[in-house]
Amino acid sequence: MFNMSQLGVFSHVLFVVLMCYCVESCVQKHIHAQVPEMLEPGYVVTQVNLDGCGVGPLGLTSSDPAFTIQMDGTIQAVLLNVVPVDGKSFWITVQDHQGHRWFMDVNLSSTGQVSNSAVLKRSKRRWSPPPFSVKENGKGPFPKDMEMIASDTSVNYSLYYVIRGAGVTLNPVGLFSVITNTGMLRVHGPIDREQYPKIVFVAHAYNVYNDQETDSPLPITVLIEDENDNPPEFSGPMVFAVQEQCPVGTVVGTVNATDKDEPNTLHTKIRFTLQNGTNLFRIDPSSGIITVSTNTLDRETVEKYILGIEIKDMNGAPDGLSNIGRAVVSLTDINDNPPTFTETSYNGKVTENAADVLVLRIPVNDKDLKNTPNWKAVYEITKGNETGNFFIKTDPVTNEGLLYVTKPLDYEKQPTVKLEVMARNEAPLVGTSAIWQKVPVDISVENVDEGPEFSVPTLLLKVKENVPNGTLIGIYTATDPETKSSNGINYYKLNDPGSWINVMGSTGELKTAMTIDRESPLVYNNTYNITVKAVDKSQKSGTGTVVILIEDVNDNVPKIPKPNQVLCSKDGTRGSILVEAKDLDQKPYSDPFSFQLGSANAGQWRLTGATGTSVMLEPTMDLPNGMYQVPILVKDLQGFGEEQTVFVQVCKCAKEGECAPQNFSTTLGVWGILAMLLGLLLLLLLCLLCILVCSTKGEKLPMADDDVPGGMLLKSNFEAPGEEVKDGLIIIPASGADVMDSFKGGANFGQKQTFGGSMYQNNMQGFLTTNTLSSGQYNTGMYGSSYKKYSTLSTMDGWRENKIQLDKKLVYFREEAAARFAEDILRPYGYEGVGSPAGSVGCCSILTDQESLDFLDSLGPKFKPLADVCTSKSQRGGQ
């Protein structure tokens, strides 16, 4: 039975569960368990099945602090409890990793039966003991007895105990064991807590007769008690930096340390102590934060500090373990030191008229960090450089000031220059009352013998254009800087683009030599420049410039730049054209212009819409197409002008300002017709001349068939390889047996033969003597004999010798040379290879007394067809 207060608690729990969570519970909502009236610490009430709550970590809490729920779902008493007669109730909260929460009511009673809704059977007997602890690094002898476990089922059964898991069958294997018949747990060696802070294994109780487990397995947790066996250790960097002259309390950095012993105990409570530098720094004993205890840190005095730091556990107790390390504190630079000059003043020398030269190096010292903006110097000339003759910059390597003369100095005007130079840094000064320093610099100008100097570097003269030649327009003289006199100085002209000015050598007078024209392209912006040179007795020289400002006169009339115009004729409308005029003169000698038609206008044109520089020209009547000349008088503002002619082409336009092409019939005039008639007459005379020439017969010139050397008639369009050579083409004459005997198988000489419509003059001619062919070189050695010079032979002997050599040649080309001369073969029509330089073998060549038979060596590829024919005939017995 529940009292009213318990009933109210349960009602509230049920209301929260119903209102806050609609997700289906992963555990049962109610658990009833029968327990003894007195619950000792460690008593296992029951076990909740958490398999349906997922695989993530669960949050398990009990509303009653006298009970706890372990991660495996075991509900266990942690305090001594007395269960009332009417029972005891509390609830368990289960929360998964997604934030879902469920509530489970637990009802305990000392009487009655357990509800069938329990996940596991209740523990019928109580295991003992509860979780216990073992000191790490325990000393032997081993094994040592720890605790005894026992199950209440031992009252009814004979039991033996078995343990499994971490420390037994898992790492660290063999650390624990159990005496099977008594349940005494034993430890077999020292344990390192830093490696195994807690060991959990499972104990089982079995019936010795049937080996059946008589009770639920009991998880046993062995807590390893910590021993202060690990000194603290430094962790993280121990290199710090802080700005010099920083205020007191500025944080330098934090020293970090760790201890492997059990957290949140004295074994890991570390105390930090500074061993040196305590007058400049301090360290917080518990946090390890280093701060500055003075504002006098000076990087230029000490740039780096090394601090000894002790860390000790047990909060610094004498029996604590300690360690010592070193922290490095570097001071960062600030610009608290201005650059200082090494001398109180500086002196330098420079030659007059010198420019862009280094005069002086000014060194400085700076204690700040080198090559930083706090150290790099910047120089300024604060006095004495009003004329801009000097320039100073910094040498990036040495940090010195480099003083240059950029504009020449004049000894006669200023023999000594006094300057003041200031040196500062790129960064402003901080943390100091010092200011930027200045130093005086005296520069002595050394005198040199200088050339003449003109009175002014540039002389401006005003001259009207078109002044007469020889007009004096000005005088440009120079003086010697040393003597201040112009005596002995001569003047010359260096530059005069148009040769308009003459310079008088001894006086410096400037006179016109040619007409000065303001409208000349040599004039720019109404000015014309010349350069004059002055030379003294020592041949020193100086130059000056004369700028002539040319004043305009009215020497140009307005001109019409486009006198040729096109007027497009349109049906029903009269066009107009714009006539513009230009005048090279300036105002008031130019526009506005006045326009007036000339006397020869005849009333065909009129002027309208005049402006200052243009006027519209339009016809007063419809004009036929053609060319018209319109005289127009154009005058400037002063009434100075002349009459000019505008040529107007009136036509139909294809596009604006361009006449369309005209038909021939419309452009053909009287002269065109006359030209056509003249051409026809000339053509008729040419025909009559041709008829007269063709009717005149020429004399026939007989071709003498004598012994005069002749030629060979060939078709002009004939292509290689030549006429076809056949056996029937070798014709033997009816007479001349001696010739037959002397040249059997060869060509017939001295006869006219016609082959294929071609006439050959076969008189004996000289054979070509060229012996170089496209396919190789022939010589007398090829045929095994030497040729005789023809001048030593009679005519008949010559024929015989020719026959012999030709026979050998034919055999060579037929047999021996077939492989060597690959091109000496028949080619198809159209072959355009290289032929024989000896010419055609279809006729005879001229033979003279001075020539030998060497031509046989030069018979090339074209000779092979004849060789084939002649050799075949010889094999058939033909002679």
Note the pLDDT tens digit of each residue in 755-780: 333 333 333 333 333 333 333 333 43
User: Average of pLDDT values for 533-537?
Assistant: 90
Phi/psi class of residue 399: alpha, beta or left (left: φ > 0; alpha: ψ in -120 to 50)?
A: left
Is 559 among the domain residues? no
Whether 136 and 216 map to the same domain: the answer is yes
In terms of residue numbers, what domain contains 768?
Answer: 727-875
Instruction: Name the band, by pLDDT with cuts 50, 70 and 90, for residue 84.
Output: confident
Is 721 among the domain residues? no
Whether 782 and 849 map to the same domain: the answer is yes
Whether 607 and 738 map to the same domain: the answer is no
Q: Could you say which of 417, 446, 475 is where a domain stops?
A: 446
> If you count them, how many residues does the chain have?
879
Q: Which residue has the higher pLDDT, 195 or 601?
A: 195
Q: Could you say which of 298, 332, 366 is where a domain stops?
A: 332
- Give the relative orientation of helices 795-811 and 864-875 as an angle to the nearest 10 degrees: 100
> How confident is the model at residue 623, as a pLDDT?
85
Q: Alpha-carbon distance 819 to 821, whole Å?
A: 6
Q: Evaluate if residue 652 carries a pLDDT over 70.
A: yes
Q: Alpha-carbon distance 592 to 636, whole Å?
A: 6
Please tell me the total count of domains within the chain. Answer: 7
Is 411 among the domain residues? yes
**Cα radius of gyration (the chain):** 67
Q: Evaluate if residue 346 carries a pLDDT over 90.
A: yes
- Provide the CATH number for the domain around residue 414: 2.60.40.60
Residue-wise pLDDT tens digits, 378-432: 999 999 999 999 999 999 999 999 999 999 998 888 899 999 999 999 999 998 9
Is 670 among the domain residues? no
Element (H, E) at 738: helix 737-742
Q: Over the chain, what is the mean pLDDT?
A: 78
The lowest-confidence range among 286-290, 545-549, 756-760, 829-833 is: 756-760
Instruction: Name the band, by pLDDT with cuts 50, 70 and 90, for residue 475.
Output: very high
Q: How far is CA 844 from CA 370, 712, 824, 840, in A?
A: 108, 8, 21, 9
Instruction: Name the band, by pLDDT with cuts 50, 70 and 90, for residue 665.
Output: very low
Residue-wise pLDDT tens digits, 268-302: 999 999 999 999 999 999 999 999 999 999 999 99
Whether 257 and 297 map to the same domain: the answer is yes
Q: Evaluate if residue 816 carries a pLDDT over 60.
A: no
Whether 467 and 344 map to the same domain: the answer is no
Contact 93, 101 (CB under 8 A): yes
Cα atoms in the 13 Å half-sphere on the side-chain side of 263: 2
CA end-to-end distance (rounded Å), the chain: 161
Whether 307 and 344 map to the same domain: the answer is no
Q: Alpha-carbon distance 836 to 670, whole Å?
A: 67
Whether 534 and 632 map to the same domain: the answer is no
Q: What is the dihedral of CA 146, 149, 155, 157, to 10 degrees?
A: -110
Whether 159 and 219 map to the same domain: the answer is yes
Whether 136 and 221 map to the same domain: the answer is yes
SS3 call for 162: strand
What is the percent of the chain with per-residue pLDDT over 70, rounded to a whole number? 73
Q: Could you say which of 332, 358, 384 is where a domain stops?
A: 332
Is 74 among the domain residues? yes
Instruction: Name the band, by pLDDT with cuts 50, 70 and 90, for residue 675.
Output: confident
The listed range with the strongest mean pLDDT (157-161, 375-379, 775-779) is: 375-379
> How confident is the model at residue 865, as a pLDDT?
65
User: Average of pLDDT values for 11-39?
Assistant: 63
User: Average of pLDDT values for 740-764?
Assistant: 38
Residue among 578, 580, 559 nearest 567 (CA): 578
> How confident is the model at residue 794, as a pLDDT?
58
> How confident is the model at residue 116, as a pLDDT?
35
Is 702 among the domain residues? no
Is 696 among the domain residues? no
Q: Which residue do the tokens 């000031």 mark?
A: 401
Whether 138 and 113 map to the same domain: the answer is no
Q: How far is CA 359 from CA 393, 446, 761, in A?
A: 12, 12, 106
Q: What is the pTM of this model?
A: 0.43
> How confident is the model at residue 690, as a pLDDT?
81
Q: Which residue has the higher pLDDT, 791 or 505?
A: 505
Contact 856, 787 (CB under 8 A): yes
Q: Strand 346-351 relative to strand 281-283: parallel, antiparallel, unpaired?
A: unpaired
Whether 168 and 96 map to the same domain: the answer is no
Q: Residue 447 carries which side chain, given as an amino acid letter?
A: N
Whether 747 and 867 map to the same domain: the answer is yes
Partners of residue 405 on adjacent β-strands: 357, 390
**b/e per residue 99-133 (b: at least 16 CB within 10 A):** ebbbbbbbbbbbeeebeeebeeebbebbbbebbee
Contact 475, 463 (CB under 8 A): no
Q: Alpha-carbon distance 768 to 858, whole Å?
A: 8
Is 695 among the domain residues? no
